[in-house]
Amino acid sequence: MAEISIDTSSIGDSSTDSLEMVTQPTVEQEDRNFIQKVINHVQSMPGATGEDLLVQTNTGFPSRYVLMLKNLPAISFKDFETIKTLAPRLRKLMISLKGNWLKVDMWKNGAKQKKMKRKHASSTKRVWNLKSINVSDKPMLERILTGLSNLPSLPCQFHVSVKAQPPNYYYIDITSNDQLNIEEVALFKHEFRAFVKEITFNFPQNNMRLKIEKASADTAAAVGHRRIVTVYKRSN
């Protein structure tokens, strides 16, 4: 995997200054533009520093190339959605919180794109220690934690802590040594979208945080006042 040299000499006090690649990877211009946009997007995140960000590429595969970024700041799930939107031919997004890296696997322009086989993890019933949790919230948290533990890219043990965030939320902090597939996390978030409001990947602290709305939460207070629209049926 080749390391891309980045010019940081033009970076001043402004956080909006972008990093420039000095050595260009051996891919087409469209892909070089994508790599530059990803670097700029990551560098614009709170806590990111151009001096620490390490960028590497591997273009040795016949039909794909890999972009790897190391020494990352905390990244939200929405930021990964932005990277997916920028990617012209995304194959896979993988992260390692312990290794502090993001790996973007891309199809090369003109390559035959093969459908990725989805891994299926065996559904396992687990017992969670939720003694300090409100009784009305326990079934919801148990379902979320079991769904998370059944992700194919989380085959090993991971540490979980649940903290109440009054009045309407819980924070679930997960520490794992596994490599996470962002597409699997996206499917998990969609399945539990009624409760999982935010996901943040804190690379410096090696944890993933889920912001969960309580099953017992006052939804009206959480989302504010909604306008009620009355629809009248038109008579013939």
- pLDDT value at residue 12: 45
Written in H, E and C, the secondary structure of the chain is CEECCEECCCCCCCCCCCCEECCCCCCCHHHHHHHHHHHHHHHCCCCCCCCCCEEEEECCCCCEEEEEEECCCEEEHHHHHHHHHHCCCEEEEEEECCCCEEEEEEECCCCCCCCCCCCCCCCCCCCCCCCCCCHHHHHHHHHHHHHHHCCCCCCCCCEEEEEEECCCEEEEEEECCCEEEHHHHHHHHHHCCCCEEEEEEECCCCEEEEEEECCCCCHHHHHCCCCCCCCCCCCC
Cα–Cα nearest to 111, from 76, 68, 162, 65 = 65
Quote the pLDDT of residue 116.
67
Over residues 90-103, mean pLDDT = 96
Class of domain 135-218 (CATH, top level): alpha beta
Pick the more confident residue, 160 or 110: 160
Q: Among the ranges 73-87, 154-168, 211-225, which has the highest mean pLDDT value?
A: 73-87
Query: Residue ranges per domain, the chain?
Result: 2-107, 135-218
Q: pLDDT class for 115, splitting at 50, 70, 90?
A: confident
**How many whole angstroms from its chain centre is CA 25?**
25
Domains 2-107 and 135-218 share a fold: yes
CATH fold of 2-107 reads: Threonyl-tRNA Synthetase; Chain A, domain 2 (3.30.980)
**Is it the case that residue 15 has pLDDT exceeding 50?**
no
- Position 4 scores a pLDDT of 61
The pLDDT, as a whole number, for residue 60 is 85
